[in-house]
Amino acid sequence: MENQFLRWLLPQIKREHRLEVPPGDDAAVLRAPGGKRTVVTTDLLTEFIDFRFSSSKDDQEFPPTATAYQVGRKAIAVNLSDLAAMAATPEAVVVSVALPRQNGRTIADELFKGIIEELEAFNTTLAGGDTNAWDGPLVISVTAIGSVSPWDCWRRNTAEPGDLLVVTGPLGGSLLGRHLNVTPRCHEALAIASKFQVHAAIDISDGLAIDCSRLMSASQTGAIIDIESVPIHTDAVSLSELKCNSSLTPIQHALQDGEDFELLLAIPPDDAHAFVGGDPQKLVPQTTMQPRIVGAVTEKIELLGRTADGQTQPLEPKGFEHAFT
C-alpha cells in the first residue's frame, strides 16, 4: 500500500527550482535563496487533541469534526504561521504521517490533497517526508523551512518598553470551526516588515494572554493589555452562548482560546499608529487582516489588564497548554 500511495503522490508534486534533488530520493536538497538565512519550524498534530473525525451520527457537534483534507491544510498552515511570526518567506516543507491502518489510504489521499492545496496557496513546495501505518489515530508532523534576510528576522526577545502591542485580527471562539480553516499571516507579515519597524512578534496559537506573556518573558519586559481594545471575534460571542461550553465571557474567550493564528506585534508608537490607521487592503490586497492596538510594553516585568476607567489588575496568562506528568 505504501508504494502504491507514493506512486500516486509523487507525480502530483510540481518540480521546483528550489529543489536541486526533489522528493523520491533518500533526502531532498534545497537551494537556499542567495544571501538569506534559513528559518526552520516544526509542529505536530494529533487526532483527538488538535482535531477529531466523526465517529457516529450521534457525535456531538462541538467542536466541529474535521475532514482529512482540512487536517492537511491545517498542518501546513500552523507551521507557516510560525514562519510569519519570524517575517520569513515560506520555501519548503517536509511532512511525516502515522496513518491508521483502517481506512488509511482514503485518509492519506484527502490529507495530501489538502497539504498540496495549502502549499500552492503560499508558493511553497513539498520537499519530502515519511509515511507510516499503525493501530493508533492519525498523527501528522510538518517541518517548514523559510528564508529571511540577515537582521530582518522578527524575534520574541526584542520588545522594548514603550512599544505598542498590535494584533492583526479579532480573537476567540476558534473552536467553532476556524481552528480547521487557519489562514497564516505570511503575506501580511512580509508586507508589514517592508513598511514598518517591528521590534518583536509571536503568533497567537495558544491565546492572547499566554502568548503575550511568552513574548514579554523572552524580552524581559512587562505588558499592559487594554481589555476594552481587544478585538472580540463574533465566534467568541457565539461560543459563550453555547450550552455545552463553559461559562466564559466573550472577552475571556478572546484572551484565552487560542488557535486564532493572528500575529501579536510589538511596534514603536509612530509605526504602530501608521499601521493601524492605514488601509489593510492597500498593504495586502484581499487580506482579512483587521489590526488593532491592544496595549503597550512596559519596563516592569508583569502582565496587567487595564479597564476602560484606567484601573489595572494582574492578568493571568491563561491559554492552551499540553498537559503531561
The percent of residues in the chain predicted with pLDDT above 70, rounded, is: 94
* CB-CB neighbours of 165 under 10 Å: 26
Which of 14-18, 126-130, 210-214, 234-238 comes out lowest in average pLDDT? 14-18
- pLDDT category at 16 given cuts 50, 70, 90 is confident
Q: In this predicted structure, what is the pLDDT of residue 178?
A: 96
Long-range own/partner contacts, residues 9-18 (CB < 8 A, 24 or more apart): 9/112, 12/112, 12/116, 13/116, 13/125, 13/126, 14/125, 16/92, 16/125, 18/91, 18/92, 18/125
Q: In this predicted structure, what is the pLDDT of residue 4?
A: 75
Q: In this predicted structure, what is the pLDDT of residue 215?
A: 98
pTM of the model: 0.93
In a 3-state reduction of DSSP, which class is residue 192? helix
Q: In this predicted structure, what is the pLDDT of residue 56?
A: 54
In which residue are the cell numbers 487580506 written?
287
Angle between the N-to-C axes of helices 104-121 and 2-9, in degrees from 0 to 180, rounded to the nearest 10:
20
Q: Is 309 exposed, middle or buried (0-12, 13-18, 19+ CB in 10 A)?
A: exposed
Choose among 114, 287, 123, 269: nearest CA to 197.
269
Q: What is the pLDDT of residues 144-196, one digit of tens each?
A: 999 999 899 999 999 999 999 999 999 999 999 999 999 999 999 999 999 99
Q: What is the pLDDT of residues 73-112, one digit of tens each?
A: 999 999 999 999 999 999 999 999 999 999 999 999 999 9
- Which three three-digit cell numbers place residue 154? 522578527
Q: What is the pLDDT of residues 233-242, one digit of tens each?
A: 999 999 999 8
Q: In this predicted structure, what is the pLDDT of residue 192?
A: 98
In a 3-state reduction of DSSP, which class is residue 236? helix
24 has a pLDDT exceeding 90: no
**Domains of the chain, with CATH numbers?**
2-148 (3.30.1330.10), 164-314 (3.90.650.10)
Choose among 183, 217, 220, 222: nearest CA to 203.
183
- pLDDT category at 325 given cuts 50, 70, 90 is confident
